[in-house]
Amino acid sequence: MTTFDPLRITLDRSNALPLYQQIKQGIVAAIERGELPPSTRLPATRVLARQLGVNRVTVVTAYAELAAEGYIDSHVGRGSFVLDRAMGGDEAVNPPSLRRPSDWTAHNFNREMMRLARRPDILSFAPGMPATDLLPDDDYRLALNTVLRRDGPAVLQYGLVEGYPPLHAAIVKELAEFGILAEPEQLLVTSGTEQGLALILRTLLRPGDAILIEQPTYMHVLDLLAGSGIQAYPVACDEQGVRPELLSDLILRHRPKLLYLTPTYQNPTGACMPLTRRRQLLDLTTEHDLLVLEDDVYRHLWLDRPSPPPLRALAPSDNVIYTSGYSKCLLPGARIGYLLPPARLLPVLAASHQTLDITATELHQRALAVILGQERFSAHLVRLREAHRRRRQAMLDALARYMPSETHWTHPRGGLYLWVQLPTTGPSATTLYVHALELGIAFAPGHLFFMPSSGETPVHANHYLRLNFVLHSPRDTADGIRRLARAWERAAGMG
C-alpha cells in the first residue's frame, strides 16, 4: 500500500502563500505525479501537523480544501483518502461527496445540491430553493435603504431574543389573513424556519423520546434527528399527505411527544392536505393529546387557489406549534423564520434561542418588516405565482413529451416540487443521477427523503425523484427534462 511521505512537502515560511495552501499544493502535486494513487490514506491531521511542524488547524484547512475540490474524501473517524479523479473524468460526473452508495445521505446530498446549483454547466432541478431570477432584489434594496436611513446604526446592533417588535406586528397581521389569531408577544423570530425546527427538537425532546414524521419528509429533519437519540417513527402518506387512519395505532404503540408535518405543499411530494383531512387529523391528535409541529414554510406559494387554512387556525392553540418563514417566497439568504408556540413553551424556546445564536439578524428583520407592510410584497407574490405557473406547465408538458411510459408524476398546486416515480422495472434514481450529471442535469433522488432503514420504506423508494419546477425558464426546463429523459434511456441501456 502506498504511504505518504510528508518530507516531500517543503514549507517555505518566508513565502507569502499561506502554509495550508503550500500543504495543499504539495499534496495535489503528489497526486498528479501519481505518487498518491486513488484510495491512498493520508496521515491523520494531527500526525501530519506534527511531522511538518505546523498547527493542526493548518492541516485541517488544507484537507478541507482538497475535499472541496474533489481530490480527497474525508470522513470523521475513517480518515482521508485520495479520490479517483480519472473516474468519469470530471467531478460533476462523479461527485466527490457521493462516490459510494453509503455516501448518499441527506447531509452529503444537501451539500452536493448547493454546490451543483452554483455550477454554470449544470442545469439543476435539485435544490429546495426559490429561483434566483425571481427574487425581488430591487424591493429589497429599497427596504434596506429605508431602514438604514431611518434607524441609523441601531440596525447594526444586537436585537431582542424574541425578535424585532414591528416585525412581530407585521407577521401577526399576515397570520390573521391565514385565519390564525395571535398576539405579537407570542412570536419568536428565528434564523430561518430551519432554526425553529432545530430549537423545538433540541428543547422539547430528549434522547429516547419518540416523534412521528411524514414518510417521505423534509430531509433536513432527518438530518437533525440523526444522532439526536430521538426515536423517529414514519407515518405513510398518500397524495393528500399523512394518512390519519394510521395515526392512532402509532400513537398508542410509541407514545410520541410530537407529530411533525408540512400539510401545505409538502417537501418532497408537494402534497396539500384537504380541509376535511386536516380536521380529521386534528381530532385524532387532540383526542390523544399529541402536540403537532406544523411547518408552513410553503404557504405563500399557492398557484391556482389559496390552500386550506393552517392546522394552527383550526385547532386549539395549545395543541399546535406553528412555524414558517420567508425563505421560499422572498429572501432565503436573509434567514428569517418564526415560531408561534403555545404560550407555555415560549419562555423555554426563547432561552434556547438565546443560547444558540442570541437573535436573528436585526438588519434583515427591520428590512423585512418594511417589505411586509408594503403593497410591493403582494405585487411580488402575484408576479411569482404567474412565473411559477408558467414553469410548472413547462415541466408538466416536457415530462409528458419526453419521459418513458410508466413514469408517474404529481400535478402540484403550489410549493416548489414535482414528485416523479420512474418505471419500477427500469434504472433507479441514483443510477439515473449519475447518467443525468453526464448530460449536465441534476435532481434530488427520492430515497433521501425516506427514513433510512425504517423497515417501512416502500420498496420503490429508490425510483422517486424530486424536481424543483420553478428554478429555470420554461425553455430551459423543457430542455432539461429532454436531457433527463435521454439520461434515463442511457441508464436503461437504450441509448
Residues at the contact surface with ligand PLP, assessed by CB under 6 A: 128, 192-194, 218, 262, 267, 295, 297, 325, 327, 332, 337
Query: Of 23 and 235, which CB lies nearer to ligand PLP in the complex structure?
Result: 235
Please list, in sequence order, all residues whose beta carbon lies within 8 angstroms of the beta carbon of residue 146, skipping any fewer than 6 positions away.
367, 370
Backbone angles phi, psi at 187, to 5 degrees: -95, 150
Crossing angle of helices 56-68 and 19-32, rounded to 10°: 50
Task: Report the residue closest to ligand PLP, judged by CB.
Answer: 192
Listing DSSP states for 376-420 in one string gives HHHHHHHHHHHHHHHHHHHHHHHHHHHSPTT-EE---SBSSEEEE
Q: Helices in 120-217 by DSSP H: which ranges?
A: 137-151, 165-177, 192-204
Cβ at position 259, least distance to ligand PLP in Å: 14
Is 193 or 307 the residue whose CB approaches ligand PLP more closely? 193
Residue 247 CB, shortest distance to ligand PLP, in Å, is 20
247-254 vs 275-287: helix crossing angle, rounded to 10: 30
Say if strands 231-238 and 241-242 run parallel, antiparallel, or are unpaired: antiparallel
Q: Minimal distance in Å, beta carbon 325 to ligand PLP?
A: 4
- The pair phi, psi for residue 241, each rounded to 5°, is 100, -155
Residue 327 C-beta: closest distance to ligand PLP, Å: 3
Residue 93 CA to residue 95 CA, distance in Å, equals 6
Q: Is the Cβ of residue 72 or residue 200 nearer to ligand PLP in the bound state?
A: 200
Nearer CB in complex with ligand PLP: 57/114: 114
Nearer of residues 398 and 418 to ligand PLP, judged by Cβ: 418
Q: How far is it, in rounded angstroms, from Cα 370 to Cα 78?
A: 49
What is the closest distance, in whole angstroms, from the C-beta atom of residue 196 to ligand PLP in the complex? 8
- By beta-carbon proximity to ligand PLP, the closer residue of 295 and 362 is 295
Quote the least distance from Cβ 202 to ligand PLP, whole Å.
Answer: 15
Using CA atoms in the order 447, 256, 416, 486, what is the torsion angle rounded to 10 degrees? Answer: 10
Task: Convert 432-449 to b/e letters by CB count within 10 Å (16 or more is b).
Answer: bbbbbbbbbbbbbbbbbb
CA dihedral 474, 479, 480, 485 (to 10 degrees): 130
Closest to ligand PLP by CB, 192 vs 412, is: 192
Q: Which is nearer to ligand PLP, 151 or 357 (CB)?
A: 357
Determine if the peptide bond prior to 268 is cis (ω within 30°): yes
Task: List C-alpha distances in Å: 403 to 127, 150, 431, 484, 485.
Answer: 21, 54, 16, 8, 5
Nearest approach in angstroms of CB 439 to ligand PLP is 26
Give the whole-angstrom CA distance, residue 470 versus residue 280. Answer: 32
Grid coordinates standing for 37?
494513487
CB 438 within 8 Å of CB 494: no
Report the residue number, 128 or 412, with the smaller CB distance to ligand PLP.
128
Q: How far is the CB of 335 from ligand PLP (least distance, A)?
A: 7
- Of 27 and 200, the one with the shorter C-beta distance to ligand PLP is 200
Strand order in the sheet with 417-421: 408-409, 417-421, 464-468, 444-445
Residue with Cβ nearer ligand PLP (310 or 325)? 325
